[in-house]
Amino acid sequence: MTRPNRTRVAAVARKELTEYRRNRFIVVTMGVFPAIFLVLPTIQILLAKVNQVALAGNALADKKIGLSMLYLMMVPVLVPSTVSGYSIVGERDQGTLEPLLATPVSRIDLILGKATAIFFPAVAIAYVMFGIFVAIVQFGAKPGVASAVFHSPQLWAELAFAPLLCGWSIWIGLAISTKVSDTRVAQQLTLLGSLPPLALVALFALQVFDATLTIALLLGGALLVVDSVSWFFVAQLFDRDRLVTGSVSKDAASTTPVVIKLTAT
């Protein structure tokens, strides 16, 4: 197995970030969509007193808080799933993938570089949205409602699971993007593939099941393991000949690195 080269991974990540800034669709996805998912939970919490939702310890209050947090949990799922689904097939459609495949970077470096360029902005955006929500609750919500939010287990689940869900969405998206030939199909399939762990988190957030510390640790540990090893398996799906010509190469399953050269822009 080819070991990742940190310098080349960083070079790919920088190249990807530069491309993201130039792509209006990605800018909108990373900027506008998270704001949309911030509005509804914020309104729900600010109007909690008006709706006569009881405070901490009440099942109805806990479900309301859980639902609000669930909207925020969509941010680390939606943003990376949309971008990662576009990452490879979208670049091929634009004609920028073929020049990229002429450089001294292995397929593992390429996949890790693309994943890195998606992961850090997506997690940062998720935490920024979460921070804005907490600030609004602190200064805008009724004291009792704010106390219920800050003492809810969903608050800490948001912090812990955001990067784990983000990693899952990235690897699902990159895997699909290497195999699908249409950008929209890749993004739709990626979003669907990103939902299973979020659905499980939702069951606990809405208190369908009791969220004990043991269960939370097991779920978080499972996602961490999957996120930690998925890069290798996704890299094996990267078939240079198929991505460039549309045909499957005879050595598609080989672990031989893709030879590429990054050009400065």
Over residues 221-262, the pLDDT tens digits come to 888 998 888 888 888 887 666 665 554 444 443 434 444 444
Total structural domains within the chain: 1
Supply the pLDDT for residue 248: 46
Classify residue 191: in a domain, yes or no: yes
- Band of residue 166 on the pLDDT scale cut at 50, 70, 90: very high
Q: Which residues pair with 260 in a beta bridge?
A: 103
Q: What is the pTM of this model?
A: 0.80
Among 67-76, 132-141, 211-220, name the most confident range.
132-141
Q: Are 111 and 174 in contact (CB under 8 A)?
A: yes
Mean of pLDDT values over 131-135: 89
Cα 80 from Cα 245, distance rounded (Å): 27
Residues in the chain: 265
pLDDT at 16 over 60: yes
Mean of pLDDT values over 74-97: 81
Closest CA to 83 of 75, 261, 198: 75
Write the CB contacts of 56 (distance below 8 Å, at least 6 apart in sequence): 62, 144, 147, 148, 151, 152
Classify residue 264: in a domain, yes or no: no
Cα 227 from Cα 16, distance rounded (Å): 20
Classify residue 250: in a domain, yes or no: no
Classify residue 52: in a domain, yes or no: yes
Supply the pLDDT for residue 163: 92
Supply the pLDDT for residue 178: 84
* Relative orientation angle of helices 213-236 and 153-179, to the nearest 10 degrees: 20
Classify residue 214: in a domain, yes or no: yes
Over residues 172-208, the pLDDT tens digits come to 999 898 888 788 888 888 888 888 887 777 776 666 6
Per the structure, the complete domain to which residue 118 belongs is given by 6-245
Percent of the chain with pLDDT strictly greater than 70: 76
Classify residue 117: in a domain, yes or no: yes
pLDDT at 129 over 80: yes
Label residue 60 exposed, middle or buried (CB < 10 Å: 0-12, 13-18, 19+).
exposed
Classify residue 257: in a domain, yes or no: no
3-state SS, one letter per residue, for the chain: CCCCCHHHHHHHHHHHHHHHHHCHHHHHHHHHHHHHHHHHHHHHHHCCCCCCCCCCCCHHHHHHHHHHHHHHHCHHHHHHHHHHHHHCHHHHHHCCHHHHCCECCCHHHHHHHHHHHHHHHHHHHHHHHHHHHHHHHHHHCCHHHHHHHHCCHHHHHHHHHHHHHHHHHHHHHHHHHHHCCCHHHHHHHHHHHHHHHHHHHHHHHCCCCCCCHHHHHHHHHHHHHHHHHHHHHHHHCCCHHHHHHCCCCCCCCCCCCCCECCCCC
pLDDT at 32 over 60: yes
Classify residue 215: in a domain, yes or no: yes
- Band of residue 86 on the pLDDT scale cut at 50, 70, 90: confident
